[in-house]
Amino acid sequence: MSAVWTFLTRTQGRHGSLTLTDYAAYAYLFLGFLLIFVPVSWIALNSVKSAFQLEKQDLSILPTDYERVGRGTLNGPDGREIFIISSLPDWVLNWSDLSAPEKAAQDVDALLEGVEGRELYVLRSHLGLVPIYARAIIDERSLPDWLIRYSSMAPDAREALDLNAVLAQLDQEEQRVMLEYLGVDPYKANRLVSQVLVSAPDPDTGEIKQYSVASATTRQEVVSARAVDDPQAKVARIPAESMVATQVIRPAWNNYSEPLTGTAFGVNVDFATCITNSVLATVIATLLTLLINSMAAFALSKYQFRGQTFFFIVILATLMVPATITLVGVFKAINATGLAGSIWGVIIPGAATPAGVFLLRQYMLTIPEELLEAARMDAASEWKVYWRIVLPLALPALAALGILSVIWRWNDLILPMLAVATTKEAYTIQLCLLEFRGEHLSQEHYRLAMTMVSLIPTTLVFVFLQRYITTGIANTGIK
């Protein structure tokens, strides 16, 4: 840490005074820090926001949410009744947005255990329990099967059936469940709506009261609200600027856990498998790159043969060819060799890189020829000269190329699209990120979270091994 501070506080002027060059250097350093830090920080903060918060395009920096209550609407013989249910878990208020595995993971029975009356009626309708309870009653009481089809029957067909005789066999609570299931008037569908709890002065008396509103962020000057203590009263119109809502920080850690465990709703890939495929492709491809490029660089730097300059120029010339021009040829080669749909189709085509050959050749030129001649005089084979002498001496350049190869391979998207786009079991991490954005369903909360996961390996490699990059490149071509 002291070395970092010494570097950051270093100045060109004497006795710590700042010169124009120092100001320019610090400005450049600060600008570079912002260009890297701000986008990554934005992704990190948005990756723990809920899907609801992202869909509402909430511009708040932190993953916050408002304190919420449930506004229940109960329909029955006494008409429509509106009331407020407070202290409900978030999964109840957001029940319709949960996936099937998420719903199955909640303890609904424990929630309803201490609830009765109108709250029970609204909650069981909201949680989709009325059809389950009604079918259980039909099976236990051996009621007619036409009850299941009753709601879809024509009015004439309903009149021919004696519904009252069937209901007479049930007690009062069972009758209510059955009537709610059948949708017989006045038992219309009960509803529970998530509302934001705000405090605002009463428009008539000026007394501070609690109200439930649809949203706390609105461009309207006046907002419709219902008083929590008397929701049946007339809807109040309160100024938006007078509302005070309590915000709480609620990170959505399930954005990370669900894709990694394969339980993400609407996603057809397992992100843990994608990470494994990327690790395998990156590690194996990097090892092959180091081996092949170092052999080519050894031959071009330490041997004299006819056409040596020509081959080197051809290798450098490939750097000037845009990658998009070679896509069709690479695709045909992958299919012709039977590598399509296999992870090897991602690894092998890019095993040799002209940039790597050039980097290693320039570094190997700095190795004295006397060392190689001395080894040959001691009866060392060419393979031993390469493996035991050249490679250890070229380790800084190999480390730099290895780090760059890891970053290139991990972030590569084009080659996996050509090789394994039709085989989801072989998807790499970059292809998996595309699966979170579909034509009809966008899972941006998952996509942002998994983008952060994909940044971790390359960030760690660069932070802890970046000195090898500077050393390897700085020493390239220096004798």
User: What pLDDT shows up at residue 466?
Assistant: 67
Residue 78 has pLDDT above 80, yes or no: yes
What tens digit of pLDDT does each residue of 364-375 get?
A: 998 899 989 998
Kindly report the number of other CB atoms within 10 A of residue 265's CB atom: 15
The more confidently predicted of residues 9 and 151 is 151
Q: Kindly report whether the global pTM for this prediction surpasses the value 0.75.
A: no
Going from the N-terminus, what domains does the chain have, and what CATH number goes with each?
Answer: 2-47 (no CATH), 64-250 (no CATH), 258-474 (1.10.3720.10)
What tens digit of pLDDT does each residue of 266-285 get?
A: 777 888 889 999 999 999 99
Burial of residue 411 (CB within 10 Å: 0-12, 13-18, 19+) is: middle
Structure-token pair, residue 286: 């990097």
DSSP letters spanning 151-204? GGS-HHHHHTS-HHHHHTTS-HHHHHHHHHHHT-TT-PPPEEEEEEEEEEE-TT
User: What pLDDT shows up at residue 440?
Assistant: 58
User: What pLDDT shows up at residue 467?
Assistant: 67
User: What pLDDT shows up at residue 213?
Assistant: 87
Report the range out of 57-66, 101-110, 339-348, 437-446 with the highest average pLDDT: 339-348
pLDDT > 70 fraction of the chain, expressed in percent and rounded: 92
What tens digit of pLDDT does each residue of 280-316 get?
A: 999 999 999 999 999 999 999 999 888 888 999 998 8
Structure-token pair, residue 433: 């990120």
Mean pLDDT of 345-356: 89
For the chain, the helix, strand and coil percentages under 3-state DSSP, each to the nearest 5: 60, 10, 30
What tens digit of pLDDT does each residue of 214-230 get?
A: 877 777 788 888 888 88
Residue 431 has pLDDT above 80, yes or no: yes
User: What pLDDT shows up at residue 159?
Assistant: 82
Residue 476 has pLDDT above 60, yes or no: no
Q: For residue 15, what pLDDT band results from cuts at 50, 70 and 90?
A: low
Mean pLDDT of 400-422: 89
Mean pLDDT of 181-208: 86
SS3 state of residue 427: coil
61, 191 Cβ separation under 8 angstroms:
no
User: What pLDDT shows up at residue 479?
Assistant: 43
What tens digit of pLDDT does each residue of 106-154 get?
A: 888 888 887 888 999 999 999 999 999 999 998 888 888 888 888 888 8
